[in-house]
């Protein structure tokens, strides 16, 4: 009896359905879930005490601190930049708007190693500002400023990418309405624009933060890997791993993994508020859906 059932769509054949679901679940478990499990298994292979010993080590603590400090600087700066860029790009028409957006997105396509090398040639001794900074006694590379700058490069597009499509879709009517009612620019931004982009903004900030805290390639070039001084947590993972302190490396990795899981949870929650959808690339083939037209 077909009565009351939805007619089958493409791929509703039970055999195909089961095969595909099984394929995806098995591969997903092997390739994505297994690494997650192995991290915690290894981290706790010497029991909770072994785990605690690594975490309690001054070098690990210092790496955690350095990672947090880096994020505390890089993320807010990137957020301000992201808001400013999105405001300029979506609320005004000026020549080169699209090009500017492409330039902002460059860090997404560039290998983090390239980013690190590029920073050497600006602030290193053989770089543009290096000799000048060196004679002034300012240390950028192999110190916190270099780590922060490299992190900012890698994550520059994160907030912009979330805000631009959303603010483009929202148009300028609300801001124009507020302005026509006599509101100042800041007032318009804080009481009209910001409340309507807050979830997308937070979404961008969360992703930006995860990347800053987890960045490895770019930071490993500019940090100098000085144990207990310029080692961020991901660099510390590498250091311990190469020292054959496998448990320690995985214990440090476990902290970063928890951060990743928290990030994903926050992402899911924010997506429920409608964030993240606008940033999905508009690559749909022509599909006029009359039911969706508003």
Residues 145-174 touching another protein, rule: CB under 8 A, are 149, 152-153, 156, 172-174
Tokens 């631009």 correspond to what residue?
Answer: 164
Tell which one of 147, 178, 201, 251 touches another protein (CB under 8 A): 178
Contact of 192 with 175, CB cutoff 8 Å: yes
Find the part of the chain contacting another protein (CB under 8 A) among 57-65, 77-85, 132-140, 161-169. 77-85
Q: Which helix (H) or strand (E) holds 191?
A: none
> What residues numbered 11-70 form the site for another protein, per CB under 8 A?
11, 13, 16-17, 20-21, 23-25, 27-28, 30-36, 38-39, 42
For another protein, the closer CB: 3 or 98: 98
Q: How far is the CB of 291 from another protein (least distance, A)?
A: 9
Cα dist from 47 to 36, 41, 44, 56, 187, whole Å = 18, 10, 5, 14, 55
SS3 content of the chain, % helix, strand, coil (to 5): 75, 0, 25
Instruction: Output the CA–CA distances (angstroms, integers) from residue 70 to 148, 196, 240, in the order listed.
Output: 6, 29, 21
270: nearest Cα among 180, 193, 210, 204: 204
The interface region with another protein, picked from 50-58, 132-140, 161-169, 214-222 by CB under 8 A, is 214-222
Q: Report 255-274 residues binding another protein (CB under 8 A).
A: 256-257, 259-261, 263-265, 267-268
Using the rule CB under 8 A, give the single segment among 50-58, 139-147, 161-169, 180-188 that binds another protein.
Answer: 180-188
Binders of another protein in range 99-128 (CB under 8 A): 100, 102-107, 109-115, 117-122, 124, 126-128
Residue 261: count of CB within 10 angstroms of its CB: 11
CB of 66 to another protein, least distance (A): 14
């Amino acid at each position: 009896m077909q009565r009351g059932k939805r007619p089958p769509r493409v791929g509703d054949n039970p055999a195909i359905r089961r095969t595909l679901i099984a394929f995806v679940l098995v591969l997903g478990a092997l390739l994505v879930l297994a690494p997650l499990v192995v991290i915690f298994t290894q981290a706790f292979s010497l029991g909770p005490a072994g785990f605690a010993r690594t975490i309690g080590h001054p070098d690990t603590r210092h790496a955690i601190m350095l990672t947090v400090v880096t994020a505390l600087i890089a993320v807010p700066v990137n957020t301000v930049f992201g808001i400013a860029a999105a405001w300029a790009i979506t609320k005004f028409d000026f020549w080169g708007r699209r090009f500017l957006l492409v330039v902002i997105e460059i860090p997404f396509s560039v290998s983090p190693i390239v980013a690190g090398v590029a920073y050497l040639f600006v602030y290193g001794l053989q770089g543009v500002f290096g000799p000048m900074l060196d004679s002034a006694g300012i240390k950028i590379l192999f110190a916190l400023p270099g780590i922060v700058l490299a992190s900012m490069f890698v994550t520059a597009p994160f907030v912009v990418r979330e805000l631009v499509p959303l603010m483009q879709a929202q148009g300028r009517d609300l801001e124009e309405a507020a302005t026509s009612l006599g509101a100042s620019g800041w007032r318009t931004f804080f009481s009209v624009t910001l409340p309507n982009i807050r979830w997308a903004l937070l979404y961008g900030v969360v992703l930006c933060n995860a990347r800053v805290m987890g960045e490895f390639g770019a930071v490993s070039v500019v940090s100098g890997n000085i144990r207990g001084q310029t080692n961020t947590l991901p660099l510390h993972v590498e250091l311990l791993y190469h020292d054959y302190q496998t448990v320690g490396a995985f214990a440090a990795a476990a902290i970063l993994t928890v951060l990743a899981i928290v990030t994903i949870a926050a992402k899911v929650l924010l997506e429920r508020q409608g964030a993240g959808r606008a940033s999905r690339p508009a690559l749909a083939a022509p599909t006029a859906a009359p039911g969706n037209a508003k």
